[in-house]
Amino acid sequence: MEFATNLLNIITYLPLVGALVIVFALRADSTRAIKAVATIVAGLDFVVSVPLWFLYEPGGAPFQFDFQASWIPSVGASYHVGVDGISILLILLTTLLGFIAVYSSFTAITHRHKEYYVFLLLLQTGMLGVFISLDLVLFYVFWEVMLVPMYFLIGVWGGARKLYAAIKFFLYTLVGSVLMLVGILALYFYNSTGLQAIGLVGLGNAPSFDVTQLYTIAGQIPAGLQFWIFLAFFVGFAIKVPMFPFHTWLPDAHVEAPTAGSVILAGVLLKMGTYGFIRFSLPMLPNATREAVPWVVALAIIGIIYGGLVAMAQKDMKKLVAYSSVSHLGFVMLGMFALNPQGLSGSVLQMINHGLSTGGLFLLVGIVYERRHTRAIADYGGLAKVMPIYAMLFLILTLASIGLPTLNGFIGEFTILIGALDRSTLWAVLASTGIVIGAAYMLWLYQRVFFGEVTHEENKTLKDVNLREQWTLIPLIVLCFWIGIYPKPFFRIMEPSIERIVRVVDPDYLKQPVAQPQAMPLPALADDAAGHTAR
């Protein structure tokens, strides 16, 4: 088959192949070889994923690089994969952060290297599978696959309370997964009883879990059934986001996870929840989505403000960044449920932005933790004097997280607020307070850690970031500036996919006429302008 046809399979299963090589071909004490194989595989996976950016045609078919094969014909489940402009961005983010996670673990992980890198690569396969799946059963399988390696990454290589954090993460996610499965089965049984052929024809007369087929008749599902299916999906995805009040597992998981685990957790795993809403809830359950808007937006705004206020009260750097994610993902949900092109585009872009800036901040916290073995803000101060390069890198990512113009966070938040303002001035005003709170806690963190005198003797001899550590951060910083200065390529690749979703979930929106401003002729040209229509 052609390279393009199998490109998604290569990207998804290359980390799995690397994990199998480490398991069967390398001894547990071959630490250097294990690191080399994991790094090469993760780096190659990113390189192989880059052609998606160049080969994808935004004006082409809704899903491209399509591959479908019979899988479980008795229930109408198939191995169907493909991507649109939204999932391509998330795949590129996953492969980039996957490589950075492997590369940044060289000194942070000191025991059981073989198992660690195997789980890290298996996790990457699970995450990529979620973003390429166009069959609900296949999506659910990949969703569950990624749960196991993340559990072990936290539970084996985490901090002092790692078992508590790992079990809490596992149970929360499992509850959400079970409810999501209930929603999937409700779709299936509704189809199989003949009330409505939501799957159309799979093989013979069997129902189908194919996403592209479900899209075509989603609006015909009765409102009552849509509500219950939406609720099941909502809880499953909201736990993963996580939205308030389903967020309580996140701070523990972040604080106890190893640095690479926190990077992947913040950068990719949380996006699986928001991606689930965009891929399934909005286009498949449009009537229920419209009815749920006030409630979801209310929870999103509460999360924005609550997450910021709780972050401001933290004394642990990692926990502060963790609670900032609750606030940032609240913005993502607000833009998404504005149900207009501006809000949804900003939501998707902010998913990428959060992965870059927050993933980078977790890397930076991990770097200083390796040197001092403490994350308490009070144990630092004056680091700009002893670690100037580290201070500069931290400042850039802090400003990106805040949303300073010319950096990525500004573009995402601004676009989301435009979308929210189009729906309700109150939404935009309340959400804007979260930006102010975010600036307060991030600048407070930076001031406490980097300014002032070096009061702790242990900090006076700290070494600045080395070349390897700089190279884990430079790609993230470059992308932060690229999106902040020239976001057009990112909007261009996602806009057709966004428009298709808006047409389903709010078909009247794109039919609304856009008011054209009337230009007033200059006084000196008043006579020449007579008889002409201002444009």
Q: pLDDT of 96-130, one tens digit each?
A: 999 999 998 888 888 888 999 999 999 999 999 99
How does pLDDT run across 345-358, given as a tens digit for each residue?
Answer: 999 999 999 999 99
For residue range 366-418, list pLDDT tens digits in order: 999 988 888 889 889 889 989 999 999 999 999 999 989 999 989 999 999 99
- Residue 179: its pLDDT value, please? 92
Q: What is the pLDDT of residue 44?
A: 95
14: in domain: no
pLDDT at 514 over 50: no
Confidence of residue 1 (pLDDT cuts 50, 70, 90): very low
Per-residue confidence band for 82, with pLDDT thresholds at 50, 70 and 90: very high
What's the token pair of residue 35? 């690191």
Q: Is the pLDDT of residue 520 over 50?
A: no
What region, left, alpha or beta, does residue 373 occupy, with left being phi > 0 and alpha being psi -120 to 50 degrees? left
In tens, the pLDDT along 288-300 reads 999 999 999 999 9
Band of residue 522 on the pLDDT scale cut at 50, 70, 90: very low
What average pLDDT does range 28-54 have in this prediction?
Answer: 92
What percentage of the chain has pLDDT greater than the value 90?
57
Residue 357 has a pLDDT of 93
Would the pLDDT of 517 be above 50? no
Residue 114's closest CA among 143, 82, 157, 73? Answer: 157
Output the pLDDT for position 534: 39
The answer to whether position 407 is within a domain reads yes
The answer to whether 355 and 271 are in contact (CB under 8 A) is yes
Q: 196 pLDDT band (50/70/90 cuts)?
A: very low
pLDDT band at 6; cut points 50, 70, 90: confident
Mean pLDDT to the nearest integer, 516-528:
43
Token pair listed for 183 = 């929603």
Q: Quick one: pLDDT at residue 4?
A: 64
Q: What is the phi/psi pair of residue 532, to 5°?
A: -110, 150
With residues binned 3-state (H G I as helix, E B as strand, rest as coil), the percentages for the chain, rounded to 5, are 75, 5, 20
In three-state secondary structure terms, 108 is coil
Chain mean pLDDT for the chain: 86
Residue 358 domain-assigned (yes or no):
yes
Q: 457 CB contacts (<8 Å, ≥6 apart)?
A: none
In angstroms, the CA 149 to CA 120 distance is 7
- Kindly state whether residue 283 falls inside one of the protein's structural domains: no
User: What is the number of domains present in the chain?
Assistant: 1
Domain containing residue 361:
293-507
- Nearest to 94, CA basis, from 271, 259, 238, 237: 271
Q: Which of 204-208, 353-357, 413-417, 419-423 has the lowest mean pLDDT?
A: 204-208
Q: Which of 234, 223, 212, 250 is nearest to 354 (CA)?
A: 250
CB 218 within 8 A of CB 284: yes
Burial class (CB in 10 A: 0-12, 13-18, 19+), 193: exposed
Q: Tell me if 304 is assigned to some domain.
A: yes
User: Which range (196-205, 271-280, 473-482) has the least confidence?
Assistant: 196-205
Q: How far apart are CA 296 and CA 244, in angstroms?
A: 10
Dump pLDDT digits (tens) for 180-195: 999 988 877 766 654 4
**Which of 84, 10, 67, 3 shows the shortest CA–CA distance to 44?**
10
15 within domain boundaries: no
Per-residue model confidence as pLDDT tens digits over 126-163: 999 999 999 999 999 999 998 899 999 998 888 888 89
Res 533 pLDDT > 70:
no
The answer as to whether 59 is a domain residue is no
Q: Confidence class of residue 516 from pLDDT cuts 50, 70 and 90?
A: very low
Is 80 exceeded by the pLDDT of residue 453?
Answer: yes
The pLDDT-based confidence of 505 (bands split at 50, 70, 90) is: confident
CA-closest candidate to residue 203, choices 79, 62, 65 = 79
Q: Calculate what percentage of the chain has a pLDDT beyond 70.
A: 90
CA 203/CA 326 separation, integer angstroms: 43
Residue 147 lies in a domain: no
For 408-436, what is the mean pLDDT? 92
Query: Which pLDDT band holds residue 222 (cuts at 50, 70, 90)?
Result: confident
The pTM for the full model equals 0.89
Q: How many CB atoms lie within 10 A of CB 319?
A: 21
